[in-house]
Structure 1
Amino acid sequence: MSSFDNTHITALTGLINKAVQDVIAEYGAIGQAIPSLDTLEPGPFQVPEEMPARLTKAIQIIEAACAQLCYSIAPPGHVMINKSLEHEEPACLLVVTEARIPDLLLNKPEGVPASELASRAGLDASKLTRVLRLLATKHCFTEVKPGVFANNRLSMKLLSSDLVSSMVAMFADESLKASAYFNDTLTDPSEMDGGIPFRRATGYSFFDYYQTPQGLKKGERFAKGMIGWGDVTGKSLVAKAYPWTSQPADITICDVGGGHGNIIMGLMKAHPHIKTVLQDQPQVIEMAHKFWAEEHPEAIEKERIKFVPFDFFKDAPIEGCDFYYICGVLHDWPDAECELILKNVRKAMKPSSRVIIHDTVIRDVVRSTYDHLKASSDKSVQVDVAPEPLLPNYGVGCIRTYGLDMALMHLLNAQARTLPEYIELGEKSGLRFEKLYEAGETDLVEFTPF
């Protein structure tokens, strides 16, 4: 590339222009314009499973290309200082979420003075004004007049009734607090915290913290936030990503550590020929039974679901199921604990059983990795690769995946994993890798027993 070659910039703008036209076309196909930021209505495409594939891809390209374009043309010092200040935004998001500022602005299109919001929330007026002004500058809230703020399309996701707000608060609270101690745990290890930043910050392990008086309400928030996280990342795409329709009637899926079973419930509603055994800790199973009685009583009445308490570290799940589905569990634990979970599952499997690990699978940022996959005759791994000059993993277009990996490190000393790391875990547990199915921001990794 010569010093006068700007093709990398024009290529990025070309990708953006093409993707924008794809977005316009998809909205036009349903007779709607693309919502502006000031629009308070949620719009037609709120969760990944509702989005046409072309729209999903266009959004990812726009996110990736716009960020790469900005980083390419802005002075590097500007970029790096901006990045170092990014922690201030979640700190502000926690303030407005905990104070329920979006709730106070509901049905107030003309806006409310920050001084009045502060009075109602019990906050300092000057400081809240500055918080809202920063967020409005990042397009969350609108400053309609000096010091007067209103909701917009983004701040509506911070309403207390929206489960996404619970996950935003968790990342802005527990996760941000832990990340402040990350460098300390790396450079000054201590047996007291076991290398876990969250433990150094609070004195407790992550899940134990939620049993303390100061952590109980945050634990309830975390449980809600996990559902919101699933909505954002498309966990319900499991119903579309795997060929369930080709499975015979009355196959049984054991949902290992399935919590309330909200993901498996969506799968069963989409594919009524499936039966489920939901397994988790006894107290979780008790709450799950109530949840299903309210949300899908038909499954209980027709005996399409069983609730069986167990501890996946101590017990094997129920024997002889056709599938063992493990969703969002393994990323909470280091390798040794994951091996124990998988070995217990392996004990319960019959020769024809399959394990489906539904979790985040980290991609490399090196294009040669993907070139090797393309050249391979192995059809078990077919992954989407971003067009050049984007990073092959879509860069900022998939940043939540890598942010989650960091949060898991800070909170739990756990991790999201690459496909080779999952394959290695499986092999150590008596499981053979079969295929990877892409499912939104997560993937389904299929195994059979050795």
Structure 2
Amino acid sequence: MQSEIIQEILGQLQQLCSVKGTGINEKAARRQACELARKLSQELEEPGDLIDRIIHQPGENAMLRLAQDLGIYAHLVQADGSVSCENISTATGADVVLMRRILRCLAALGHIDEKDVDVFAANKFSMAFVTPKGIAGSKFAFETATPAWNAMPAYLKSIGFKNPENSHDAPLQRGFGSQKHMFELLVEHGVLENFQTFMTSYRADREEFLDIFPARERLLDGSQDDSVLLVDIGGGRGHDIEKILEQLPDTKGRMVLQEVGDVVKQVSESDAMKVMVHDFFTPQPIQAARVYYLRMILHDWPDEQCVDILKNVVSAMKPGYSKVLVSDVVLPDKGATRFAAQSDIVMMCLLAGMERNETQWRQLFDRAGLKIIDIWRSTPESVIEAELAEQ
């Protein structure tokens, strides 16, 4: 073992575990500790063990999906204690011999706890995957993302290892044998609602942009009563607007949620939140709003489409008043986290999109006629604040 590297990692972990009460962001420290723990595990592994772990990862994803299909996690969580293999077999309708093999593997993977011979219980892992995010996310990953991941090597080879720039011809399309865009495929395969559930729960699990961005100071101060305060473009079911209204209740009646028709049907309009169907590749209909807000939208698209989206917003902005806020990943030039780096490849596989660094964001905004005036950094998402380049 390379003891010096291991001792260094252990020292860094000890520091991160002592942040309570120091004012350091505990969520960020926890994520850093997880990154270090993975690095420590890799340093401790023999090369052969490392290879075995990696090549079996697709199998773990399949076991996760199988366990959810059979309701194993839910059964163990609801039991709130130890359950026998025979009991789970009866509850799920699966053959007891097959169930014993499945449970043994899930326990070895750490998905459930093995309490005794043929006796099992829920743990932190299984509890996570009975949540809306766990259920919807694993379904999306297994049924939509995995075919794209698997098609990626052959796809990139077939296009001469160029950067994908066509949302209708990415690894996802090769995996599904289609030229339809991902969102069209979600509708076609009847999984759009599952995707929306995943995105809503995914966002709820992250820091809100109000945790990062000083909204009252930068947006409410100087806003005009006769204008819309915020237009949430492609805002899903309105989760972000709901959070804003909770924290800034004096903004009621001045929020607009824009989404495609299939999503709008799932959202109830209120006095506090107006809902409208809008395609962000068409001109923005809400003129002179204080804020045009896009959360995790632009990383879905190649540069050319991002410029088109932003230009449609620019055409509606009021000089010296309107702002654009983009809540998205801003990659560091060095030392990207595991999540951010993998997310970049996911965007490429599914949508020919990408996660961008600061230089790429500035180039993108400049092409659309916008000037970045500040970047409020966090992990994994940051908030980019921009205004018209020419006021």
Q: Compared with structure 1, are the counterparts of its residues 5 and 118 closer, same or farther at alpha carbon in structure 2 (3 Å cutoff)?
A: closer
Aligned residue in 1 for 2:259: 280
Asked if 1:198 corresponds to 2:172, the answer is yes
Measure the CA separation in 2 of the matches of 1:327 and 1:422: 14
Q: Give the alignment partner of residue 341 of structure 2, picking from 399, 402, 405.
A: 402
- Structure 2 unmatched ranges of 5 or more: none
1:12 and 2:9 aligned: yes
149-158 vs 114-123, greater mean Cα deviation:
114-123
2:140 and 2:195 in contact (8 A); partners too: yes
- Compared with structure 1, are the counterparts of its residues 287 and 5 closer, same or farther at alpha carbon in structure 2 (3 Å cutoff)? closer
C-alpha distance after superposition, 1:344-403 (max 9, x if no partner):
0010111121111111222233xxxxxxxxxxxxxxxxxxxxxxxxxx44xxxx322222
Q: How does 1:27-426 map to 2 (within 5 A)?
A: 53-159=24-130, 162-189=132-159, 195-204=169-178, 205=180, 206-212=182-188, 215-216=189-190, 218-234=191-207, 236=208, 238-246=209-217, 247-248=220-221, 250=225, 252-274=229-251, 275-288=254-267, 290=268, 292-293=269-270, 300=271, 304-352=272-320, 353-365=322-334, 392-393=335-336, 398-426=337-365
Note closer, same or farther for the CA distance 1:153–1:181 as it changes in structure 2 (3 Å cut).
same
Q: How many positions carry a matched residue from both structures? A: 374
CA contact (8 A) 1:409 1:415 kept: yes
SS at match of 2:315: helix
TM-score (ref. length: structure 1): 0.75
- The CA distance in 2 between the partners of 1:118 and 1:335, in whole Å, is 51
CA shift at 1:75, angstroms?
A: 2.6
The Cα of 1:53 is off from its aligned counterpart by 4.2
Aligned to 1:436: 375
> After superposition, what is the alpha-carbon deviation per residue over 1:232-289, rounded to whole angstroms, capped at 9, x for unaligned?
333x2x112111121326571111111211112101211123331222223433432x
CA distance in 1, matches of 2:128, 2:266: 26
One-letter identity of the residue aligned with 2:170? I
How far the C-alpha of 1:445 sits from its partner, in A, is 1.1
How far does the alpha carbon of each residue in 1:420-449 deviate from its partner, in whole angstroms, 9 at most, with x for none?
212111111111111111244211111111
- Structure 1 residues not aligned, in runs of 5+: 30-51, 294-299, 366-391
Task: For 2:187, give the aligned amino acid.
Answer: Q
Contact kept, 8 Å, 2:200 with 2:237, in 1: the verdict is: no
Q: Aligned-pair distance for 1:6?
A: 4.8
Report if aligned partners of 2:145, 2:350 keep a CA contact under 8 Å in 1. Answer: yes
Question: Structure 2 length as normaliser, TM-score?
Answer: 0.86
How far the C-alpha of 1:100 sits from its partner, in A, is: 2.1
Q: Distance in 2 between matches of 1:243 and 1:62?
A: 28
In structure 2, the CA distance between the partners of 1:166 and 1:311, relative to structure 1 (3 Å rule), is: same
CA gap 1:273/1:17 in 2 versus in 1, 3 angstroms:
same
Q: How large is the RMSD of aligned CA atoms in angstroms?
A: 2.8
Which structure exhibits the higher relative contact order, with contacts defined as CA atoms closer than 8 Å and separated by 6 or more residues? 1
**Kept in 2: contact 1:193–1:203 (CA 8 A):** no
Q: Which amino acid aligns with 1:262?
A: H
Code of the residue aligned with 1:252 in structure 2: it is L
User: Per-residue deviation at 1:164?
Assistant: 3.1
Give the drift of 1:131: 3.6
Distance in 2, Cα, partners of 1:148 & 1:125: 13
Pair 156,252 (structure 1): closer, same or farther in 2 beyond 3 Å: same
Between stretches 184-193 and 269-278, larger displacement belongs to 184-193
Residue 316 of structure 1: SS of its match in structure 2?
Answer: coil
Letter in 2 for 1:227: T
CA distance in 1, matches of 2:103, 2:356: 37
- Kept in 1: contact 2:136–2:194 (CA 8 A): yes
| Structure 1 residue 126, shift from structure 2 partner | 4.1
The 8 Å contact of residues 28 and 379 in structure 2, kept in 1 or not, is answered as no
Identity %: 23
CA contact (8 A) 1:94 1:173 kept: no
Within 1, Cα distance between the matches of 2:11 and 2:140? Answer: 37
- Asked whether the 8 Å contact 1:167–1:225 carries over to 2, the reply is yes
Distance 1:80 1:199 in 2: 30
C-alpha spacing 1:162/1:306, structure 2 compared with 1 (3 Å): closer
Aligned partners of 1:61 and 1:148: how far apart in 2? 35
